Chain A
Amino acid sequence: MMPIPILKKEQCLVATIEATISDQELLALRDQLVKEVGEEHSAGVILDVTDLDVLDSFSVRILRDMANAIRLCGANTVIVGIQPDVALTMVQQGLKLEGIHTAMDLEDGLAYFDGRNKTAL
């Protein structure tokens, strides 16, 4: 099991989820991200799921748990790059990403945190 690299960009942590990710790897990523947010005092986490061609109920639940835990650490989560057919399948299966911001791509995700910083200042 290869650990998923977590990149740091200014105040944000960025992790890219690959299509081949296993449930165990996703759980490990969740733990690792929550831990790093606490250690680094990051403002936010960006999860790039561009590569995923399916988001099932398990992954959605893990992502929601992760976002909630990260919020408890005082940071926000943005999921970027959900593909159109993945999004439609999720909606049709009743899977929701409540309370998690979504953006089109990494650029928009970073812009989201930039905008938040500006309004905070």
Chain B
Amino acid sequence: MHSHSKEEIKLPENGSADDSTVLRYRSDNELMAELIDFLRKRRMRLCNIWMRKIARENLMSSMTPDEIKKECAAIYENYLATLETGSIQALEFYAQELSARILPLGVGTQEVIAIVLLLRDVMARSLFSHYGKCPQLMKHVLDIYEPAANRIALTVASGFLNEHERIIGEQRRSILELSTPLLPVRNRLVILPIIGVLDSQRVRKLCEQLLTGIKTHRAKVVVADMTGVAEIDAVAANYLNHTIAAARLIGAEIVLTGMTPEVAEPFILLGTDLSSLTMFEDLQSAIDKADELLGRTVVYADESAHRQEDL
């Protein structure tokens, strides 16, 4: 797989394998030890080749060259250590720590995996040019190098995916917690600003909190402001309809406001009975309607004076 390569890895001739070395190796462990020794001695050279490749592929572009150099050296060391000990625990820990550090910098998981795979190939080519003259020995080298290298790549990849999942889970939890603040505005009037994506899981929680919140605030009118809703699916829209009907049974009216066309669409597709909903285009008119439902009229001191003059 490396024969078509134009990449030149120059190795000192005295390091090449000959027939006598084939006979010397019997166990995998001995050969692995030599491979590690070989890769460690050529650390500077291989690191440079690797970093050139990284630069050519335009990977980790959000990091400075110095940072990349430092990170590469650390990855190289960890890579060798894992090959040496065969234990992936240290690497798992390093991958986790690395992902927590560089994911916020905007480095994608695929970039990191690409980098690890590049290192695997750089090392394999170096081994190939060193041992390639003797096919038998080369086969043995690949037999022990490839599984170890693949395990490393897998470990790093899954470490990054785990970190991704952890971040997503954390964000989901905090969204659920923050999602339904009920804001009392006036006596028996509360505002419910809904922000973000309304999926079926979140809408269930929201509905639960809203209905119990109506009870605790003794709210008669709830103004639900949907301005911040980016997206709503059919299940969530249906559930929201149920919530509105349930609120009415409890004795509270829900006034909707800030519907965007995208958000309105699932309601239309569901065949929602629009006459059962009270909707306004902006928060101001919704609150005016809420006041009307509560039997209040807002009179502004100076405005009433103007009106007197008009009359």
Contact = CB atoms under 8 A, between A and B. Distances in A.
B252 A88 contact: no
Contacts of B252: 104
Interface stretch (A23-31, A32-40, A65-73, A90-98): A90-98
Contact of B246 (A88, A103, A104): A88
A110 interface: no
Given A84-B214, A108-B220, A115-B295, A90 B249 contact: yes
A88 B243 contact: yes
A91 B246 CA distance: 6
Interface string A92-118: 100011000011110010000001000
Contacts of B139: none
Nearest to A84: B211
B247 A87 contact: yes
Contacts of A96: 245
B251 A108 contact: yes
B293 to A, nearest CB: 12
B242 A91 contact: yes
Contacts of A91: 242-243, 245-246, 249
Nearest to B252: A104
B260 interface: no
A83 B242 CA distance: 15
A15 to B, nearest CB: 17
A103 B211 contact: no
Interface in B202-220: 207-208, 211-212, 214-215, 218, 220
Contacts of B214: 84, 104
Contacts of A83: 250
Contact of A102 (B211, B218, B249): B249
A115 B220 CA distance: 15
Contacts of A103: 251
Interface of A: 80, 82-88, 90-92, 96-97, 102-105, 108, 115
Given A82-B249, A87-B245, A108-B220, 17 more contacts: A84-B208, A84-B211, A84-B214, A84-B250, A87-B246, A87-B249, A87-B250, A90-B246, A91-B243, A91-B245, A102-B248, A104-B250, A104-B251, A104-B252, A105-B218, A108-B251, A115-B295
Q: 3 shortest A-B CB distances, which residue pairs? A: A84-B211, A104-B251, A87-B246
